Chain A
Amino acid sequence: MTSTTEPTETLSVEQLSATTLLRFATAGSVDDGKSTLVGRLLHDSKSVLVDQLEAVERASASRGQDAPDLALLTDGLRAEREQGITIDVAYRYFATPRRRFILADTPGHVQYTRNMVTGASTAELTVILVDARNGVVEQTRRHAAIAALLRVPHVVLAVNKMDLVGYEENVFGAIAEEFTAYATELGVPEVTAIPISALNGDNVVEPSAHMDWYGGPTVLEHLETVPVSHDLAHCHARLPVQYVIRPQTAEHPDYRGYAGQIAAGTFRVGEQITVLPSGRSTKISGIDLLGEPVDVAWTTQSVTLLLEDDIDISRGDLIVPSKDAPPTTQDIEATVCHVADQPLTVGHRVLLKHGTRTVKAIVKDIPSRLTLDDLSLHPHPGQLVANDIGRVKVRTAEPLPVDSYSDSRRTGSFILIDPSDGTTLTAGMVGESFASPEPVRDEAEDDGWDF
């Protein structure tokens, strides 16, 4: 038996410890080369190990394929390998000396829009692939629209297969310009366009020798350097209370802490806070960061707040700065993506989970359904089916403190749950969306609405 280690170019322990984490998602149509790009990122960052490659080689050979099929690295389920397609989000991990990455690898098929929504909901960045020969197509616009809806802070347009268009600068330039104009109109704050050949490795990890005219970063360089935290000075501080910690021991007879993960902003000892929905106020007397006292804590730290007054607080409450409290409401209007196979209809009785609170709710109205192809609105569709994106009005049984999703991805989002079988029905984003100012066209035709 040989040793499991051999000398390779690797990271030192110090390098491995001082890194930040970037969550990103990929989106691309079936033949845009997404698997190749993912495979190359994993392979060139040495995240594919010998036994995994051997397994892929074995499986490829047993299927009669000449070369190892890198898609087998990422297609983990029997059904996926049988059909040769990706049917579900998979999460992958790789690291460089600068950063660690969690990649939500989402399927490109139109009918899996919900999976791109799932992947994008936790992503700080989305890589949208296009084939340089085809340019911006309908599917590209859908992906851009979803990234905009989900408010993914950074969007990368990877123009792939540059080798098949002679590495021509003007081909890339035209696609980048068209996409950037479209994405900007949707409200995407930042687009970085990169010309690549995933197959040959141009501008993925190594700069391309074929495209002197391109002076920007490679895909990996950009992933390594894009900022991962928000400008907290302009964030509303929010702490959904998850659990009340009461040891009731001789050592801690009076300890009463409100545990939760800070959803947005910062909290400081001495700060005046208000508890919603009750509206009672007090001051923060202490903050415990997993057992250690701190003066200040910020998103996304899991903390325990200690308060000066013993007021009634339980799981589901939201702690906010008194000077910056959101309104509470029982009528929520939101853009939603329907993620379940059973449809969502007007009058549907559901559960709504927002932060740590789950309340009864009823679907009062479905004013419109969005057609991602051209961003037009189909009025009063009556129901939403799997992968539909639409506007929904929901009435909740209890008042909820909700933010606009454009202000806070965490306290502006919710899910709807079917109370009979627990199915997650719908992903919701509170408030105006980029598509809402458009007037609703009443005489819309049904042809071509489905995507």
Chain B
Amino acid sequence: MSLEAEVLAALSTVLDPELDEPITDLGFVRSIEIDEHGVSVHVRLPTSFCSPNFAYLMVSDARDALRRVEDIGRVHVFLDDHHDSEKINAGMAADAGFRGTFGVEAEDSLDELRLIFQRKAHTAAMERCIEDRLKNSGLAVSDIYRLRLRNLPGGQFKEALLRRRATLGLDIAPDSSVFVDELGVPVPPDDIPLRLRFAKSVRISIEGNSHFCRGLLATRYEDEEDLATRITNTRLVTRSAS
């Protein structure tokens, strides 16, 4: 894999926590510059009022992901055009952490916020798999409690569900129940209709935000030729030669 591809692959592991999609797919990565010393990445968001906690999560996740690329050298990640760009960029440069970056405005770490959205992402992925079964197999709502992971056909819905479960540390064994709560406990059959209904609103919510953010990003940067990431690599020596 080329170094560019490795960098892109690393960045594609970074999700917008609220939209549950990779920042590379959302068009949030504006540019990647690789040179002798390392890599510089510029990240942009749909509005300058995107909340700084999410902005911080994405930028710091991007930095951590890039640091895992072998022999990458120095890693710089910058947030462009945001009302907190200066703060976040300074915090990144100093490795200050969320609290160190925002001082009195930040009460604690962002782990809890991240967890909330990981759980929502799992709920939405679960709902997609179940709706698919309800539509395309003989499954009835009253049978959902019997549905096991092994009963789900392969494909992107199942893959996404397994990935979300793994993120939360939930069981991914083929014999485990599909409809589980946020701690992995199977939901009692009587509770399933209401919980499924609620899961549906979670899914609609996430999808709607995604549409909204994509639209705003396109509007905000419509002057730019396209929303693709600009990649430059001026590093002369390839790693295989070194």
| A and B together in one complex | no
Question: Which residues from chain B sit less than 8 Å from chain A, CB to CB?
Answer: none
